[in-house]
Amino acid sequence: MLQLNVIRENKDAIIEALKKRNSDAASLIDSVLVLDEKRRATQTQLDKTLADSNKLSKEIGILYKSGKAQEANALKEETANLKESSKDLTEELNTIATELQQALYLIPNVPHDSVPTGKSEEDNEEIFKEGDIPVLAGGALPHWELAKKYDIIDFELGVKIAGAGFPVYKGKGARLQRALINYFLDKNTAAGYNEIQVPHVVNEASGYGTGQLPDKEGQMYYMPADDLYLIPTAEIPVTNVFRDVILNEKDFPITHTAYTPCFRREAGSYGAHVRGLNRLHQFDKVEIVRVEHPSKSYEALDGMVEHVKDILRELKLPYRILRLCAGDLGFTSALTFDFEVFSTAQDRWLEISSVSNFETYQANRLKLRFKDEDGKSQLAHTLNGSALALPRVLAGILENYQTPDGIIIPEVLVPYCGFDKID
């Protein structure tokens, strides 16, 4: 959520910047400013009324104490009007505040200057590419065929138990999943991220805190009996650790890593590209989250990108990095880099990580602040990224490391797996 005072002071610049997202926010911003003004005017009026009635109440109290009940009763009558108008004003204020809040929820984050203009993922800018794309022998298979051939992932069994998009990993497939989780967590903690285990469900307040609500409720599994959501990403619980928190400057940087399963309804995204592991309702992911001083957050973002690169180099997977264009940028993000691994047998790139800086957008909703040098409260910056999402990494490994004799396990994972080949 954008800050009101920032909108007030940079109205035109914000409208201009949001045009990059192909959203004309001008009228929305205008109505926010009108509502803001109305809110403050109403607040001032209410404050005055309350001040008057507080004053009267105090006088009544003093009169009673000094035994002047009659005079007190006379004053009581005067309060009736004040009470009436303060009730009306409170109602009015609540209405305006709610409208203002809802309008603010509809405004996405302002894209960073470096974000390229563009309408869709086709306009994303490739900024880096590394790793050799293997030349596979004849008869190379896509990962879902390999999964079947070696009996390591059973998609049909998942359908029976839960439904499409909930695969069952078996034998060496299950072991490889566990190896990847442990490897990622080890890499992240070695880089200084503090491991944390968090709930896999979140309440409504947490959903609003990181911006999934009210925007994306259709993408989350919701449990009405308990008013809880299954998490679509560890970003929500891990970042909400810092909801309503005031940090000291010396607490920066805050870094966490967490493994969680992720649940996504993926409503309406069925089609040709969802086969196998490409798009699931439940998948595993290891996330990294940072809370940073505003002056350090872009440096931190670069550090996260380098960290993810390092992992992919060790796995020896061909990958590229995209700078998302404004049209493809997430609602809450100011700048996002996507990592994609090349799926050789499918001949396409698969997104395996998304690393973003949200600047103060989430912090404003979370009320995540810190005391600066002058002792004033300021909003912190939040960032997060996948390091990494498992299924497509697994797809990449299966396809790129396949040989006629079986699938070779990347060297760095062998100690975690306890085997070096799936055959």
Partner RNA sequence: GGAGAAUUGGCAGAGUGGUCGAAUGCGGCAGUCUUGAAAACUGUUGAGGGUCACACCUCCGGGGGUUCGAAUCCCUCAUUCUCCGCCA
Question: In the complex, which residues of this chain contact RNA (CB under 7 A)?
Answer: 40, 43-44, 46-48, 50-51, 53-58, 60-62, 64-65, 76, 79-80, 83, 246, 369, 371, 377
Of residues 246 and 414, the one with the C-beta less far from RNA: 246
Which amino acid appears at position 291 of this protein?
Answer: V
Of residues 328 and 359, the one with the C-beta less far from RNA: 359
Query: How far is Cα 331 from Cα 318, in angstroms, rounded to an integer?
Result: 29
State the nearest-atom distance from the C-beta of 83 to RNA, in Å: 6
DSSP state string for 39-68: HHHHHHHHHHHHHHHHHHHHHHHHHHHTT-
Of residues 209 and 327, the one with the C-beta less far from RNA: 209
Task: Tell me: is residue 290 an annotated ligand-binding position.
Answer: no
Instruction: Tokens for 87, please give them.
Output: 């009730």
State the nearest-atom distance from the C-beta of 338 to RNA, in Å: 35
SS3 322: strand
Compute how many other C-beta atoms are within 10 angstroms of the C-beta atom of residue 100.
19
Task: Tell me: is residue 313 an annotated ligand-binding position.
Answer: no
Task: Tell me: is residue 354 an annotated ligand-binding position.
Answer: yes
> How many helical (H) and strand (E) elements, i.e. helices and strands, does the chain have?
13, 19
State the nearest-atom distance from the C-beta of 336 to RNA, in Å: 29
Instruction: Tokens for 344, please give them.
Output: 């050789």
State the nearest-atom distance from the C-beta of 41 to RNA, in Å: 9
Task: Tell me: is residue 352 an annotated ligand-binding position.
Answer: yes
DSSP state of 133: P
End-to-end CA distance of the chain: 51
State the nearest-atom distance from the C-beta of 207 to RNA, in Å: 16
Task: Tell me: is residue 264 an annotated ligand-binding position.
Answer: yes
State the nearest-atom distance from the C-beta of 47 to RNA, in Å: 4
Of residues 272 and 376, the one with the C-beta less far from RNA: 376
Task: Tell me: is residue 351 an annotated ligand-binding position.
Answer: yes
SS3 386: strand
Of residues 246 and 274, the one with the C-beta less far from RNA: 246
State the nearest-atom distance from the C-beta of 94 to RNA, in Å: 7
Of residues 65 and 135, the one with the C-beta less far from RNA: 65
Of residues 84 and 195, the one with the C-beta less far from RNA: 84
State the nearest-atom distance from the C-beta of 198 to RNA, in Å: 15
β pairing state of 245-248 and 368-371: parallel
Query: How far is Cα 346 from Cα 137, in angstroms, rounded to an integer?
Result: 14
| 253 preceded by a cis bond (ω within 30 of 0) | yes
Of residues 46 and 395, the one with the C-beta less far from RNA: 46
CB of 207 within 8 A of CB of 170?
Answer: no
Residues 6+ apart with CB under 8 A from 268: none
Query: How far is Cα 176 from Cα 328, in angstroms, rounded to an integer?
Result: 32
Task: Tell me: is residue 266 an annotated ligand-binding position.
Answer: yes
CB of 148 within 8 A of CB of 277?
Answer: no
CB of 387 within 8 A of CB of 257?
Answer: yes
CB of 263 within 8 A of CB of 281?
Answer: yes
- Find where tokens 């007190």 sit: 72
Task: Tell me: is residue 279 an annotated ligand-binding position.
Answer: no
Residues of the binding site for ATP: 264-266, 351-354
Residues of the binding site: 233, 264-266, 287, 351-354, 384
Residues of the binding site for L-serine: 233, 264, 287, 384
